[in-house]
Amino acid sequence: MKVMVVGGGGREHAIIKKLKENSTIENIYALPGNGGIAKDASVVSVAATNITAIKDFAVNNGIDYAVVAPDDPLVLGCVDELEAAGIPCFGPNKAAAIIEGSKVFSKNLMKKYGIPTAAYEVFEDMDKALEYLKTAPIPTVIKANGLALGKGVIIAETREQAFDAVRSMMSDKIFGKSGESIVIEEFLTGPEVSVLSFTDGKTIVPMVSSMDHKRAGDNDTGLNTGGMGTIAPNPYYTDAIAAECMEKIFVPTINAMNQEGRSFKGCLYFGLMLTADGPKVIEYNCRFGDPETQVVLPLLKTDLLTVMQAVTNGTLADVDVEFKDDSACCVIIASGGYPGSYNKGYEITMPEDIFDKVYIAGAAEKDGKLVTNGGRVLGVTATASDLKSAIDASYAMVKKVSFENAFYRSDIGARALRAIKEC
């Protein structure tokens, strides 16, 4: 069987490594992949957003199954194109991917179907947004409607910052069309939990919960990043909270999408905040999270391809999706300067024997060597029977990886460990 994975980051590397456990797969193609993924898959130099070229590659190379991992191709309708060409896919079609592609859509969906989320207003007119902000409670949260490389959310601590955020999106158009309409929403507080789920539109199976660490510096200081590390399971996500989320959020979301004629098939990601008033949805993603996938998939016991194909075929109810009872920790090693500007091209060295546990995100191959090629360069994941051991094992491997100007947080999982002690 020939499988194609669209995308080229740490998440895609984790998906590919997991798929490789299935011996019926002869070859995995990564479009575009990266220099590190090239050790586990055949990389093909086609951008993840070049839908026509992706479809042509799949048709010309007899691809039997496609996994479309990143948000952009999903929102652009990559799955629709591939399916029209007769290629079965894992991932939502364009109509369903709007749950991530438009914040206005997702907020209105939650309001219409009574799914708990932060109170909000939508604006298409900058003057009206600025007028509203004169009296809105501060802090407040400003969100660009469309995709913005994960940067479209601004938490304004002061009224001035809120005005600036609106102007930057609606007048300076820093996110282009994505900021033509905006959501201004209530600032919520509480622990955050990421829950990825498999769904075929009828059955929803939540995966093990996880915790992202979005800020660049230790103790959650510094700028927001794409994620500097993750742990799973998330200790704040108790069985009681999981049951409440299933009843009030997960099932209602699937039903709401069906009602809207936008049945969702694929991985639906729930970004949740556990507030004093109960769990609320901070965001939906129409795909696997990055770097959550790098801790969630190593804990999956069931064959990933089997689960994915059941999602595609609408038979997820027939599959027993099981996770190990262990914990996992992924520490991201980034280029010095990230999420600001950074240099590329430094050689990455690590012992061969840890490569199995390393997910490469931003690296290229140059003259037979692996060199840095992005902000987040790679993630190192360890699993163990308890979280503390997973964290220690992950950091022990991190110390064996080196490249110039490398940096990483030294406290991934520390908050989770404190939460476990408090329970």
Interface residues toward ligand AMP, by CB under 6 A? 118, 141, 150, 153, 155, 185-188, 192, 214, 271, 282-283
Binding to ligand GLY (CB under 6 A): which residues in 292-351?
A: 292
Q: How far apart (Å, rounded) are the C-alpha atoms in residues 267 and 248?
A: 19
The entry of ligand AMP, ligand GLY, none near residue 95 (CB within 5 to 8 angstroms by kind) is none
199 or 203: whose CB is closer to ligand GLY?
199
Q: Does 100 engage in binding with ligand GLY (CB under 6 A)?
A: no
292 binds, among ligand AMP, ligand GLY, none (CB under 5 to 8 A by kind): ligand GLY
* Cα(37)–Cα(40) distance, integer angstroms: 5
**Which one of ligand GLY, ligand AMP, none is in contact with 38 (Cβ closer than 5 to 8 A by kind)?**
none
**Which position's Cβ is nearest ligand AMP?**
283
The answer to the question of residue 80 lying near ligand GLY (CB under 6 A) is no
Strands 42-43 and 27-32: parallel
**Residue 2, both tokens:** 């020939």
CA triplet 387, 279, 120: central angle to 5 degrees? 130
Residue 253 near which of ligand GLY, ligand AMP, none (CB within 5-8 Å, type-dependent):
none
Q: Which stretch binds ligand GLY (CB under 6 A): 111-119, 289-297, 301-309, 335-343?
A: 289-297
To ligand AMP, the closest distance from the beta carbon of 106 in angstroms equals 10
Q: Is 375 in the site for ligand GLY (CB under 6 A)?
A: no
Beta-sheet strands, E only, within 171-301? 182-186, 192-199, 204-206, 211-212, 215-217, 221-224, 229-232, 266-275, 278-285
Which residue's C-beta sits nearest to ligand GLY?
289
Q: What's the N-to-C CA distance of the chain in angstroms?
A: 47
Q: Is the dihedral of CA 243, 296, 258, 265 positive or negative?
A: negative
Residue 227: contacted member of ligand AMP, ligand GLY, none (CB under 5 to 8 Å, by partner type): ligand GLY
Q: Which C-beta is closer to ligand AMP: that of 88 or that of 271?
A: 271
What distance in Å separates the CA atoms of residue 13 and residue 20, rounded to the nearest whole number?
A: 11
Q: How far is the CA of 245 from the CAs of 55, 120, 248, in angstroms?
A: 37, 21, 5
Question: Residue 151 burial (CB < 10 Å; 0-12/13-18/19+)?
Answer: middle
Which residue in 7, 9, 73, 227 binds ligand GLY (CB under 6 A)? 227
Radius of gyration of the chain (CA): 21
Rounded Cα distance between 297 and 353, Å, is 20
Task: Show the DSSP H helices in 183-263 as ranges.
Answer: 239-245, 251-259
Minimal distance, residue 30 CB to ligand AMP, in Å? 25
Q: How far is CA 354 from CA 37, 351, 381, 412, 417, in A?
A: 14, 6, 10, 19, 25
Partner from ligand GLY, ligand AMP, none contacting 40, C-beta within 5 to 8 A by type: none
**Site membership for ligand GLY, residue 290 (CB under 6 A):** yes
CA distance 407 to 251: 40
Q: Does 285 bind ligand GLY (CB under 6 A)?
A: yes
**72 in contact with ligand GLY (CB under 6 A):** no
CB of 11 to ligand GLY, least distance (A): 7
Alpha helices in 218-272 (DSSP H): 239-245, 251-259
Q: CB-hemisphere CA count at 13 Å for 380? A: 26
Residue 282 interface partner, choices ligand GLY, ligand AMP, none, CB cut-off 5-8 Å depending on type: ligand AMP
Q: Identify residues 396-415 at the interface with ligand GLY (CB under 6 A).
A: none
CB of 230 to ligand GLY, least distance (A): 8
Residue number with CB closer to ligand AMP (8 or 191): 191
For position 289 contacting ligand GLY by CB under 6 A, the verdict is yes
CA distance 337 to 227: 15
- C-alpha to C-alpha distance for 3 and 6, rounded to whole angstroms: 10
The footprint of ligand GLY on residues 138-177 (CB under 6 A) is 150
Nearest approach in angstroms of CB 131 to ligand AMP is 21
Q: What is the spatial distance between Cα 141 and Cα 134, in angstroms, rounded to a whole number?
A: 14
Instruction: Name beta bridge partners: 382.
Output: 329
Judged by beta carbon distances under 5 to 8 A according to partner kind, the member of ligand AMP, ligand GLY, none in contact with residue 217 is: none
Residue 328 is classified by DSSP as: E
The interface partner of residue 141, options being ligand AMP, ligand GLY, none and the CB cut-off 5 to 8 Å by kind, is ligand AMP
Considering only residues 199 to 218 of the shown chain, the ones binding ligand GLY according to CB under 6 A are 212
* Interface segment toward ligand GLY; rule CB under 6 A; list 15-23, 253-261, 283-291, 404-412: 283-291
Q: Look up tokens 């729930």; give the residue.
A: 270
Which residues lie near ligand GLY (CB under 6 A)? 150, 212, 227, 285, 289-290, 292
